[in-house]
Amino acid sequence: MRLAPFLVLALLTACSRKTEPVPRDKDTGSGSGSGSAAPIATKYDQISRTDFNRYAVRQNIGLYWIADTDKDSTLDPEELATLMFYPPPPPLAEAYPKIVAASKQPPSAEVRQKLAGEELDQGRPTLVHTDLTKLGADDKKFVDHMLKVGELIDQLYSIQLGTSELEAKLPADPESHSLFRRNWGPKCDAPATQTNKSCSAIPGAPKPILGIYPAEIQTDDKFCTMLEKHPQAKTLMAPFVAVRGPATKLEAVPFTQAFAPQMTAISKELTAAADAMKDPAEGPLVAYLRAAAKAFTTNDWVSADEPWSKMNSGNSKWYVRVGPDETYWEPCAQKAGAHLTFARIDQNAKEWQAKLAPVKQDMETSIAAKAGAPYTARTVQFNLPDFIEVVINAGDDRDPLGATIGQSLPNWGKVSDENRDRTMVMSNFYVDPDSLAARRSQAESMFDADSMKSYSGTPLPSNLATILHELTHNLGPYEGYKVGGKKPAEAFGGPIASMMEELKAQTGALFLIELLRGKKIVDDELAAQTYIDSIVWAFGHISQGMKDGDGNRKAYSNLAAIQVGFLIDKGVLVWNAQAKAANGKDTGAFTLDMKKMVAAVDEMMKVVGGIKARGDKAAAEALIAKYPDGKIVPHDVITERFLRFPKASFVYSLSR
Ligand SMILES: [Zn+2]
């Protein structure tokens, strides 16, 4: 389970972290300094940093202007990063004039191409940079193998998505190529373009044929419902199998068989990574790499979870999770998508681990009390979150827009059932100055000035909410909890089950604040800051729309609308059509009545926990009808004000 934020900031380390320019990667020449033939007098001062980065994306050129550090409005070579997951870029001297020319061109007269540009512009490229220059030679070899694993995972995920076959149909223009690269296929994903049928990287907007289901059943829009009602639904809809046809005789085929060449290659590369890791202190990591390598040939992911659950921030410098995990990516929300999270452990987590460890059981007891019968409190033993700094996200992890900032895994199997999950908080997303400034402006467009006094604009409140969200996945009625013999996906159907689980987690993020305040772990100020921050988080998700381009409900957007609608009904959020927003420009703003917050959030936990405890599908559907689909939440105002700002679209670079 994961928390895919809109603009949630990350971690408590941020006060000490700035986005510093990084030296250019020496062996990936990006232009001016790398050889004797480099132009000497070229001055890159023709466009702003924002435009350089925007039109580089449009041109599908993997170069990024990190910051105008010396404030001379000129792109200096040391301010430039070379990006991964792009085609190798030309030297800067060659790329710069192309990018400038693109910025001066009028929009394409061709509708599809114009829309492709608009789709790309809704993401603000935002750099995730990792400096590995201080690593020893062996560690660098290990990293090289992990990067290769990332490439192979990307290929496997494209096959699961069914997009790899469409690549040959791409027209020549760079916008189409860039859109296809960023979005994992031809489909538009950004709020203003996702429902426009003409928006696609490929003329005619062909729909990919998913690699996990037979092509012939996918012509029917309702094929997920058909599969859920199939007599063999349990076998067919298991997370680690592909469904193969014909439609009259469907069968489940293990991923390792369905995607054998790709999975075998990943297995070999993981073994090579394990062999390359020579540091004797990294035993737990090596054990996991070998177990994961094995799972890529046996499909026994549950066994690989054992050594994985034994790694922690105390026994490894690295964080690796590789394999099929989350199900949000596919329309039936049942099959696990291939991904690699490759990160370094951020050592700053320990303070919060120490604070929260003693109150885990109290948290479970209080959530169980709210959820009510037939759920009863369990003895909980889950691990507190590890904080990680992502080096690369591959496959299902690398979203076109935004990024996962918190995750609890595994989703199935013994480790999960026995509550030995690991929870991660990704600490290096959304902490750059561009992201922080954009988010504050969004908040100031929705709240009046008085309410904004609680908004800190620092990463801590968001981090705390993320930690509590992730913790709550381990609390109350959980993924393995059965009511009437049915697990959540059977009781609610896949998409509503996913949404309700996320709603429970995010409701926990609000509800547990008061418990922590009572125990003096969180003070009054941080409590208030966290509440308003979580509402801004919710507005962000609402602005993304309730459904994707294919008409599937978005879990976070729906839960966000339920929470905001609930808080409006309880008088916590009061819309005043005459009030000036804190930005001084917009008329019509929310006032936040903090005094009513605790009681409202208590009630929310009771409603949401109760629905999960009873497996009450009708009540879940009623919530959806009332808030995501109803008129209580001012969807249009939120959307218009939030979408003035592009979403972060994360791009990656390394120096080593
Ligand atoms: Zn979650």
Strands annotated E in 466-606: 573-580, 587-592
Ligand 1 centre to CA of 469 (Å) is 6
Question: Is the model's pLDDT at 3 over the cut of 80?
Answer: no
Question: What pLDDT score was predicted for residue 40?
Answer: 46
Ligand 1 centre to CA of 2 (Å) is 4
Distance CA 170, CA 628 (A): 36
Question: Is the model's pLDDT at 19 over the cut of 70?
Answer: no
Ligand 1 centre to CA of 441 (Å) is 26
Torsion of CA 593, 596, 598, 600, to 10 degrees: -110
Q: How confident is the model at residue 163 (pLDDT cuts 50, 70, 90)?
A: very high
Ligand 1 centre to CA of 506 (Å) is 7
Question: What pLDDT score was predicted for residue 5?
Answer: 47
Question: What pLDDT score was predicted for residue 548?
Answer: 87
For 427-445, the DSSP string reads: TTSS-SHHHHHHHHHHHHH
382 is written with which tokens?
Answer: 């889950």
Question: What pLDDT score was predicted for residue 289?
Answer: 98
Q: How confident is the model at residue 420 (pLDDT cuts 50, 70, 90)?
A: confident
Ligand 1 centre to CA of 470 (Å) is 6
Ligand 1 centre to CA of 477 (Å) is 14
The pLDDT mean for the chain works out to: 91
**Which residue would you say has higher pLDDT here, 645 or 284?**
284
Ligand 1 centre to CA of 466 (Å) is 9
pLDDT in tens, 562-605: 999 999 999 999 999 999 999 999 999 999 999 999 999 999 99
Strands annotated E in 233-376: 241-244, 251-254, 318-324, 338-345
Listed in sequence order, the residues at least 6 apart from 602 whose beta carbon sits closer than 8 Å to its beta carbon are 370, 511, 514
Ligand 1 centre to CA of 163 (Å) is 27
Question: What pLDDT score was predicted for residue 14?
Answer: 28
Question: Is the model's pLDDT at 21 over the cut of 50?
Answer: no
pLDDT in tens, 215-263: 999 999 999 999 999 999 999 999 999 999 999 999 999 999 999 999 9
Q: Give mean pLDDT, residues 294-311.
A: 97
Q: How confident is the model at residue 427 (pLDDT cuts 50, 70, 90)?
A: confident
Question: Is the model's pLDDT at 75 over the cut of 80?
Answer: yes
Percent of the chain with pLDDT over 70: 93
Ligand 1 centre to CA of 517 (Å) is 23
91 is written with which tokens?
Answer: 């030297």
